[in-house]
């Protein structure tokens, strides 16, 4: 049986699994029914199945041949707090929860790969199929590592696949180096004496301090960072006051920083603190900075990207394998696994152009099912490329 025959035979099951998961979405660390579904499938394929790894995570282990080499394939289980507006026949049946990022399809594809590789193990070594909870917001990847995932399943390389709207349909992105950004969040609070709006001289005016900070902070990107370096600093919320004739005692500014260079995290935190301290000295207003370091950047290794390219070239025309796609300033907690293992890649599957609210995390997001056979072939080719027979 040829590769395409394996995929064609498995594709109906993968579509059915995708639709089932889409109808039954669960939020991060709450994916109990999803985990049940995944574990039951892995068990039915004959894989060694583990559910005691971390929260709702599931790990399937498949061995072939006698090599001691190993690779990890990862997909995500969680959905988002989004009200679905797609009109799909398999729309979410859970109010206010939707698979708006394609994790349901990613899971279905990895299950399909597990099934095909268990039936036709054309590789030599061990594959760990990792189904991760809470990729969105809660950093389930970080928790899996803290809970000992890699101690029990010590992979040499790790790979994930993610559909990517806006990239040519059917393309496989095999980019070396940065592909997704690191992200930090912060809250800067200015505190002082409140006052009546008619008598502002009796207070300190934290509103003015916040305004001065917002203007001064623009210099962080424009004047303290090499223009050739990627840094996005966005202020997204300002909270303060309840009555229009009272100057409040407290104003909070919230925002986020995105970057590829890990050193930017410390730089932004230091710069925000220095600017706020200067405003405090000039005005007498106190400040508190809560700077929260989030997901690191996703940086594909040289070898990992090369393996993806070789695997993709085995079943796609050369023009469909892209190695120079610009990175995204979006983030992904696959970075924790990739950093911990030290070798591997995050793969994008081009989903084509989409309309308003139909991109990732949008209420009209619809996973492009033309990508299912591409993702399945990609997993099979990765297994054969990363764990080739006859190599020790």
How much is the mean pLDDT over the chain?
A: 96
382 is a domain residue: yes
What is the C-alpha to C-alpha distance for residues 23 and 308, in angstroms, rounded to an integer? 31
pLDDT of residue 2: 61
In a shared domain, residues 306 and 267: no
pTM for this entry: 0.94
Among 293, 326, 347, identify where a domain stops. Answer: 293
Residues 128 and 229 occupy one common structural domain = no
Phi-psi region of 161 (alpha: psi -120 to 50; beta: other; left: phi over 0): beta
What's 232's domain CATH number? 3.30.70.360
For the chain, the distance separating the N- and C-terminal CA atoms, rounded to the nearest angstrom, is 26
Residues 56 and 158 occupy one common structural domain: yes
Q: Does residue 391 lie within any of the structural domains?
A: no
What is the residue-wise DSSP string for 198-215?
Answer: T-GGGS--HHHHHHHHHH
And the tokens for 306? 């090369």
- The predicted structure's pLDDT at residue 5: 80
**Does 159 share its domain with 84?**
yes
CATH code: domain of residue 20: 3.40.630.10
Is residue 130 located within the same domain as residue 215? no
Task: Please indicate, yes or no, if residue 324 is contained in any of the structural domains.
Answer: yes
For 280, the domain range is 182-293
Residue 392 lies in a domain: no
pLDDT, position 1: 47
Q: Which of 372, 367, 370, 376 is nearest to 312 (CA)?
A: 376
Q: What is residue 3's predicted lDDT score, i.e. its pLDDT?
A: 62
Whether 280 is in a domain gets the answer yes
Q: How many domains does the chain have?
A: 2
Positions in the chain short of pLDDT 50: 1
Q: Is residue 62 part of a domain?
A: yes
Which domain-ending residue is among 267, 293, 319?
293
pLDDT digits (tens, 9 = 90+) for 296-333: 999 999 999 999 999 999 999 999 999 999 999 999 99
36: left (phi over 0), alpha (psi -120 to 50) or beta: alpha
* Residue after which a domain boundary falls, among 262, 293, 324: 293
At residue 339, the pLDDT reads 97
* Domain match, 150 and 202 both: no
Tell me how long the chain is. 392
Verify that 31 and 171 share a domain, yes or no: yes
Same domain, 49 and 128: yes
Asked if residue 342 and residue 215 are part of one domain, the reply reads: no
44 lies in a domain? yes
How large is the C-alpha radius of gyration of the chain?
Answer: 24
Query: Based on the domain organization, do 260 and 304 belong to the same domain?
Result: no
Q: How far apart are CA 21 and CA 378, in angstroms?
A: 21
Q: What are phi and psi of 389, to 5 degrees?
A: -70, 150
Indicate if 310 and 288 belong to the same structural domain. Answer: no
Q: Both 39 and 133 in a single domain?
A: yes
Q: Residue 260: inside a domain, yes or no?
A: yes
């Amino acid at each position: 049986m040829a590769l395409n025959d394996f995929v064609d035979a498995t594709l109906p099951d993968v579509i059915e699994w995708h639709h089932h998961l889409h109808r039954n979405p669960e939020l991060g660390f709450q994916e109990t029914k999803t985990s049940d579904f995944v574990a039951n499938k892995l068990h039915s394929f004959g894989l060694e199945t583990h559910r005691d790894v971390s929260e709702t995570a599931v790990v399937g282990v498949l061995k072939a041949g006698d090599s001691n080499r190993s690779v990890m394939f990862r997909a995500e289980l969680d959905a988002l707090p989004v009200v679905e507006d797609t009109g799909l026949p398999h729309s979410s049946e859970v109010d206010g929860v939707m698979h708006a990022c394609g994790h349901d399809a990613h899971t279905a594809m990895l299950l399909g790969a597990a099934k095909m590789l268990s039936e036709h193990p054309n590789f030599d070594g061990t594959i760990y199929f990792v189904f991760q909870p809470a990729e969105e917001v809660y950093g389930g990847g970080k928790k899996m590592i803290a809970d000992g995932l890699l101690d029990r399943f010590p992979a040499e390389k790790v790979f994930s696949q993610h559909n990517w709207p806006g990239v040519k349909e059917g393309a496989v992105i095999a980019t070396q180096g940065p592909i997704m950004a690191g992200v930090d969040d912060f809250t800067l609070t200015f505190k002082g004496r409140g006052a009546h709006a008619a008598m502002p001289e009796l207070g300190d005016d934290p509103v003015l301090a916040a305004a001065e900070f917002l203007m001064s902070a623009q210099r962080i990107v424009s004047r303290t960072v090499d223009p050739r370096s990627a840094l996005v600093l966005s202020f997204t919320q300002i909270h303060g006051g309840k009555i229009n004739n009272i100057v409040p005692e407290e104003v909070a500014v919230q925002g986020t920083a995105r970057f590829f260079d890990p050193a930017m995290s410390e730089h932004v935190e230091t710069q925000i603190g220095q600017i706020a301290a200067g405003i405090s000295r000039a005005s007498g207003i106190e400040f508190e900075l809560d700077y929260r370091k989030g997901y690191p950047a996703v940086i594909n290794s040289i070898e990992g990207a090369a393996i993806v390219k070789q695997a993709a070239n085995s079943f796609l025309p050369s023009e469909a394998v892209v190695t120079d796609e610009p990175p995204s300033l979006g983030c992904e907690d696959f970075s924790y696994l990739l950093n911990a293992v030290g070798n591997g890649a995050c793969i994008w599957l081009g989903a084509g152009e989409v309309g308003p609210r139909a991109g990732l995390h949008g209420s009209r997001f619809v996973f492009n099912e033309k990508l299912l056979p591409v993702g399945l072939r990609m997993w099979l080719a990765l297994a054969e490329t990363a764990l080739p027979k006859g190599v020790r």
